[in-house]
Structure 1
Amino acid sequence: MARKLLLFHLLCFCCLLSTQATGQISDLIIIGKDTFMLQTCPIEHDSILSKQVSEHLSQEDFCTACWRGYQATWQIEDDKLILRKIEDSKSLFAYPDTLPEITVDLNGIFNQYQDKRGRIVASWFSGELKVVSGEQIYYVHMGFNREYENETDYQVEQGRIISKTSYRNSIKKGTSIKDAMKLVKTQFNRDYFPELANTKVVISCAVLPKADGSINSIEVQIIRPDSMMEERKNLYIERICEILKKVPQWDVLTVRNKIRKTERWTLSVLP
């Protein structure tokens, strides 16, 4: 619990530093005797339920680390997805022990989804539940764009679990995108392109590595300027690719048994 609270505060602090940062806290899910992070928000899949829950939130101490304003706790029981509680983000982001847990009264919102035992079955939800645990191996400060060592994906049909698949994700460290950008900036020779002497060129890049960290494929796109002749544009891209191919070993992120392409990044090559 203390570790979870620390994560919430760090995310909130990051939000204060940058309004562009929108990494989100996860819902929680109880499976057996353990509690895991759920990187799916079933309530948000129903616009009416989402609106009704929002109307019951305090709307105070808002933090961009939790745009939806709450954290729901779920449970898989009898192969059903059960909603146990919804906690207001006001108490999530309070300093430890300064506020009691603030929960949303579920009566009147989920009545039609209660079964004979009074449990709230998420029969409005069909789709995939992404349940994660272990070390975080990859992170981008946006939404749920992060990966963990252990991942189990549950397929749900009207609140019932119909299948599950488990994965062991990994990352093999090599050259980061940040270092690759530095390499391009220091090694790119603009003398080959005198027509761009007073022009800032903005490019977009992504690399798909092989298992050993070498390059499988490179994607380079020139965003600006639009005025470049096609032949010169192709030559420019070729020069960029030549530099990127000098990287001895890239980060290799394997998720769901597949090597993932790097995040697409943009780079400005100044005059």
Structure 2
Amino acid sequence: MTAQLSDSLRYEGETLRLFTLPLNTYWNMASAANNIDDDSPEKRRDFADMGTWCWRRHTASWAIEQGHLYLIGIHATYEDGGEAMLEDFFPGYPNRVFAHWYSGQLRCSRGELLEYVHAGFGSRYEEDLLIDIDRGVVKDQHVIDNRTESERQ
């Protein structure tokens, strides 16, 4: 698999690469609720192909504001050429949606690229910021320093 294009997260004045996909959790729940098969076009939402660097055919923008995770944008083009809008999936919410469906850990990279891995989100950056989320609410965070001893000097 090719290295993948990340989502983005605005948090504490920074825009970070987000290597977790909270929107997939929502779409998997919606597909299950509507009894949609994993291979069906509805599962892929009929987005145009973006190339091997983005198998999911979209990216998303996120923000953490006042301890809450929000989806603030979906970036994709439909196969018919139209641009995807947040409100297409969340009617009545054109600007942001509280991500109450997501519980898990967000992984964001910080700093310089130390090692490129030609697969998924496997590349290694100086730091990983890990943010624990419970039903859209930030519960904890910590930073992992990914540099070796010699890279720190």
- TM class by smaller structure: 0.7 to 0.9
In the alignment, what sits opposite 1:34?
A: 14
Tell me whether 1:69 sits opposite 2:57 in the alignment: yes
Instruction: Map 1:143-158 to 2 at 5 A.
Output: 143-158=120-135
Query: Normalized against structure 2, the TM-score is what?
Result: 0.76
Shift of 1:139: 2.7
- Runs of 4+ with >2 A deviation: 48-54
* Cα distance in 2 between the residues matched to 1:129 and 1:145: 15
* 8 Å Cα contact 1:27-1:71 kept in structure 2: yes
Larger Rg: 1
**Which structure 1 residue ranges, 5 or more long, are not aligned?**
1-20, 91-101, 174-252, 254-271
Instruction: Map 1:36-115 to 2 at 5 A.
Output: 36-46=16-26, 47-49=28-30, 54-55=44-45, 57=47, 59-60=48-49, 62-88=50-76, 103-111=83-91
Distance 1:56 1:106, change over 3 A: farther
- The one-letter amino acid of 1:150's match is E
User: Size of the alignment, in residue pairs?
Assistant: 138
* Cα distance in 1 between the residues matched to 2:61 and 2:133: 17
Q: Partner of 1:107: helix, strand, or coil? A: helix
Q: Identify, as 1 or 2, the structure richer in helix.
A: 1
In the alignment, what sits opposite 1:142?
A: 119
**Which structure 2 residue ranges, 5 or more long, are not aligned?**
32-40
* Cα distance in 2 between the residues matched to 1:108 and 1:48: 17
Query: Normalized against structure 1, the TM-score is what?
Result: 0.45
Distance 1:167 1:131, change over 3 A: same
Percent sequence identity over matched residues? Answer: 28
* 8 Å Cα contact 1:128-1:156 kept in structure 2: yes
Q: Partner of 1:43: helix, strand, or coil? A: helix
- The one-letter amino acid of 1:22's match is T
* Cα distance in 2 between the residues matched to 1:124 and 1:104: 21
Shift of 1:171: 3.1
Distance 1:109 1:48, change over 3 A: farther
